[in-house]
Amino acid sequence: MLAYAWVIPAVMVVSFALILFFGKRLPRKGHEIGLAAIAIAFALSTVCAVEWVGRPANHTVEPVAAEPHGEATASESGGHGEEEAGHGAEEAGHGAEEAGHGAEEAGHGAEEAGHGAAAPAAEEGGEHGGEGEHEAEPIREPVVSEGTWYENGPVKINAGIHMDGLAVVMLFVVTLISLAVHVFSTSYMHDDRRYTHFFAALSLFTAGMLIMVTASNTLQLLFGWEMMGLCSFMLIGHWWEEKNNSDAALKAFFTTRTGDIGLLVGISILFFAAGNTFDIAETNRAALAGQISDTVLLAGAAALLCAVIGKSAQFPLHTWLPDAMAGPTPVSALIHAATMVVAGVYLVARLYGVFWSAFDIGGGGINPIALVGGITVIIAALLAFVQSDIKKVLAYSTVSQLGYMVMALGVGAWTAGIFHLFTHAFFKGLLFLGAGSVSHAVHSFDMKKDMGGMRTFMPTTYKTFMVGTLALAGVFPLAGFWSKDEILLGAGENGYELFLVVGLVGAFMTAAYMTRCVYLTFFGEYRGHGHPHESPPAITIPLIVLAVLSAGAGLLNAPGIELFTKWTENEAVLLAGVAHHEFSLMTALIGGLFAGGGIAASYLYYWRNLGPHRLTERSGAAMAGYRLLENKYYLDRLYTDGIVASIKGPIARAAYIVNQRVIDAVVNAVGIGTRRAGRFTYDVLDQKGVDGIVNGVGLTAEEGGSVLRVLQTGRVQQYAAFLFGGVVLLGGALVLFT
Amino acid sequence: MYLNQFLLLAAFLFSVGVYGVLARKNGVLVLMSIELILNAVNINLVAFGAFHDTVAGQVFALFVIAVAAAEVGVGLAIVLLIYRNRHSIDLSEVDLMKG
C-alpha cells in the first residue's frame, strides 16, 4: 500500500468532484460520498501505518560531520561522498527487501556500504564520524514512487510520493481527524443552506493536506499548500452573507498569502541551490552536506520561515487565526487540529535539513525559528485569558501550541515537535468539536453570557471536554504531558535554557486559561436561555473516540516505549544528527508542577474566589495591560491603519493619476485614431473604391445586356440564318486558309 | 458517271432547303425544307459510299432517314400545337423568347 499511497489524496479529490456534480441530487445531499471517501482514506492510511511499522528497519544513516560549513573545497568533496554513501546504503537496503529472509545479512552489507563511502566524507572530522557509527540506529527506508512530470534538458521535475515515518503519521492523523469532523458535520451542519458545498470543500481541503504530506518535491508541496489556502477561504467564509464572515475569510486568505510569497521565493532559491531539483530528500542532503553556500541557504530558509509564520499563525502574522473562527465549528476543528496551520510546522519538519544548516540549530544559540515559536507561545497564551468566546480561547490556544511545535523544531527537538503535533491534533480536535457541541445546544459561543453549568445538561460533552483540557494542560499521564515534556527536555538539554523557561511559563498559562474556560463553560450557574440538552450520537461519538486517543496517544513515546521516535525519524533528521535525550524525571516533575500550578491558580481564582479580583478597576497599570490584550496588542490596528492605510492612499492616488493621464490619454488617442481611420475608410475606400468597382461591374453587365438583347429576337429563322452565316464564314475560312 | 454530278445535285437540293428554312413563313414548309437538306446529305453519303466501294455510306444514310423521321414527328407535333394556340403557323409571329 505504501507505494500506492497516492490513492489516498486521489480518493478525496474524486470525492470532491462527485459531491460537487452529483451531491445535490443524492438523498443525503452528498455527505454519503464525503463520508465514504474519508472512511476509505482513513482505512488506507491505517493500512499504510501498519505496513510502515512492519517494515524492516535496515537503512543506516551516518550523521554528517559536525561542522558542515568548513572550507568550501573540503565540504564539497565531503558532500559528494555522503551522497554516494546514501546511494550505496539504499541499494543494499533494496537487496534486503527482496531477499526477505536474508535481511540481516544485507543489513550488514548496508552498513558496510555506509562505511566504505562515508570514509571520504569524514576526512576532516574523522572522530565525529567514529562516534556516529555507534549512535546511528537503522531506520526504515522511505518508499518513493515517482513519475516524470516535466523534463527539459537537465531540469527534470518528478511528481510522486515520498512515504516515510513523518508522512505516514501525518496521513493517519489527517484522515482520522477529518473522519471525525465529517461525522460531526453531518449533525452539526444539518439543514445548512450550502450543505453539499460544505462537504465538497471539506473533501478538497483534506485532499490538499494529504497531497502536501505525501509530496516528494517542494513543487507538489506548494500545490497542496495552496489548495488548502483556497479551501480555508471557502470554508471560513462559508456563511458569507454576513460581512464579518467574508471579512474573516479574506483576512485569512491575504494574511497567509503574505507568508506564501516567502514559500514561493524559498522554493525557487532551494531549486537552484540544490542543483536544479525540487526533490525534498536531495535538497535536505545537499543542505546538510554543505553543498549550498551559507548565504543562499540562509535566504532560502528565511523565506520559508515567512511561509511558516503565515500558515502556522506565528507571531506576527497570527491575527488571522482567531478571526477564522467565523467559519463553522467543524471547519475550525479541521483547520486547527490536523490541517492548514500544522502545514507550516510540517514544512519545517520536512525540510529540516535546510533549516538545521541555515540557522545552525545544533549550535545552541538563539535562532529565528525558536524565537518566533517562543514569542508566539507567550503572547497567544496571554490573549487567551481575555476572550469570552469559547472558540477564540481555543484559537489562541492553538496559536500558542503551534508556537510550542515551532519552538521544539527550533531548538532541535524534532521528534518532540512532531509528537506534539500528533497529540495536539487529537485533543485540539476534541476541544473544538466539544465547543461545537456546546454551542450547538446553546446557539452561542459566548461563555460569559450564554454558558455556565453545562456539565449537568451535557454530561458526555463535559467529560470528553475535560479529558481534552487535561491533555492540553499537560496533566500526567495524558497525551499532552508526554509531548510537552519532550519539548521541555529537548530545549533544556540542547542548550536552549531560555526556551525551557518560555516553555514552562507557557505550560503554566495553558493550564490556567483552559481551567478558566472550563469554569466559565461547564461550572457555575447557567446564564443562557432555553433548555440545552446533550447532542446526538453523530456528535458525541467522535468526541468519545478523540477523548480516548487524547488520553492514550502520549504513551506511544513514553519512556521505555519510544515507538514514535523509531517510526518517524527520517534520513534528514539522522543526517543532521539530532540528539536524543534520556527521559529526565526532574524535567517531567517541574513541567508537571507548572501545569498543576496553572490549574491550581485558576481554581483558586474562580472556584474559591481568591486572589486579586477587580484588579483592573483599581490599578491603572492592570487596566492598561487589559486594554492591550483586549485590543490584541494593536496588531490588527497596525496592519489595517498603519500598513494597509499608508500604502493604500498613495497607491490609490498614483493609480488615479495613471488612470487619468496615461490610460485615459491612450484610450482617447486610440478612439480618435479609430474614428479618423473609420472616416477615411468610409469616404475613400468604401464609397469610392469598393462601391465604384461594384457599380462598374453592374453597369457594364447592364450595358452589355442591352446591346446584346437586340440580337435575341426569339425568331427561329433568324437564328437559323446566323447559324448558316456562321457556317459559311467558317467554311470560307477553311477554304481560304488551307 | 462522275461523282461531281451527284455532288452538284446534292448542293442544289441543299441550297433549296436552306432557302426554304430561312425564307418561308409556313412552319410545315420549313420542316419540309429541313427534309430537303437532310436528303441532300443522304445523296452525298450514298454517292461517296459507292465511289469508295463501301457500304458505310448507305448505313449512315439509313440512320439519317430514321432520325429525320423522328425529327419530323416532333416538329409536326410542335407545329400542330402552335396552330391550336394561335390559329396560325406563321413562324415570324412566334417570338416568345425575345430578349
Q: Which residues of A touch B (CB under 8 A)?
A: 708-709, 711-717, 720-721, 724
Contacts of A711 in chain B (CB under 8 A): 99
Confidence at A611, pLDDT banded by 50, 70, 90: low
CB atoms B18 and A715 under 8 Å: no
Residue A389: strand, helix, or coil: strand
What count of residues does chain A have?
A: 738
Contact A317, A368 (CB under 8 A): no
For residue range A467-491, what is the model confidence (pLDDT) as tens digits? Answer: 888 888 888 778 888 888 888 888 8
State the average pLDDT over residues B53-65: 94
User: B15, B18, B19, B90: best mutation site toward chain A, by most A Cβ within 10 Å?
Assistant: B18
Of A257, A282, A281, A277, the C-alpha closest to A267 is A277
User: A710, A715, A722, A728: best mutation site toward chain B, by most B Cβ within 10 Å?
Assistant: A715
In CATH terms, the fold of domain B3-93 is Helix Hairpins (1.10.287)
More confident site: A247 or A104 = A247
Percent of chain A with pLDDT over 70: 88
Contacts of A725 in chain B (CB under 8 A): none
pLDDT of amino acid A93: 43
Q: Would you list the domain boundaries of chain B?
A: 3-93
Question: Which residues, 6+ apart, have CB-to-CB distance to A482 below 8 Å?
Answer: A419, A423, A554, A555, A557, A558
Q: How far is B18 from chain A (nearest CA, A)?
A: 8
pLDDT of amino acid A113: 41
CB atoms A714 and B98 under 8 Å: yes
Identify the weakest region by mean pLDDT among A88-97, A177-186, A406-415, A556-565. A88-97
State the average pLDDT over residues A694-714: 90
pLDDT above 80 (res A665): yes
The DSSP result for B28-66, as a single string, is HHHHHHHHHHHHHHHHHHHHHHHHHT-SHHHHHHHHHHH
Give yes or no for B53 touching A (CB within 8 A). no
Give the whole-angstrom CA distance, residue A67 versus residue A360: 10
pLDDT of amino acid A524: 78
Q: How far is A714 from chain B (nearest CA, A)?
A: 4
Contacts of B99 in chain A (CB under 8 A): 708-709, 711-714
Give yes or no for B16 touching A (CB within 8 A). no
pLDDT of amino acid B68: 94
What count of residues does chain B have?
A: 99
Sign of the C-alpha dihedral computed for residues A271, A273, A277 and A280 taken in this order: negative
Q: Who among B22, B96, B97 is closest to A717 (CB)? A: B22
- Type of residue found at A537: P
State the ipTM, two decimals.
Answer: 0.86
Give the whole-angstrom CA distance, residue B56 versus residue B48: 9
CB atoms B22 and A720 under 8 Å: yes
User: A712, A713, A716: best mutation site toward chain B, by most B Cβ within 10 Å?
Assistant: A716
A620: exposed, middle or buried (C-beta count within 10 Å: 0-12, 13-18, 19+)? exposed
Identify the weakest region by mean pLDDT among A82-91, A206-215, A620-629. A82-91
pLDDT of amino acid A736: 93
Q: How far is B55 from chain A (nearest CA, A)?
A: 28
pLDDT above 50 (res A83): no
Name the CA radius of gyration of chain B, rounded: 16
State the average pLDDT over residues B75-96: 89
pLDDT of amino acid B44: 94
pLDDT of amino acid B7: 93
CB atoms B94 and A716 under 8 Å: yes
Q: Who among A714, A717, A720 is closest to B96 (CB)? A: A714
CB atoms A717 and B92 under 8 Å: yes
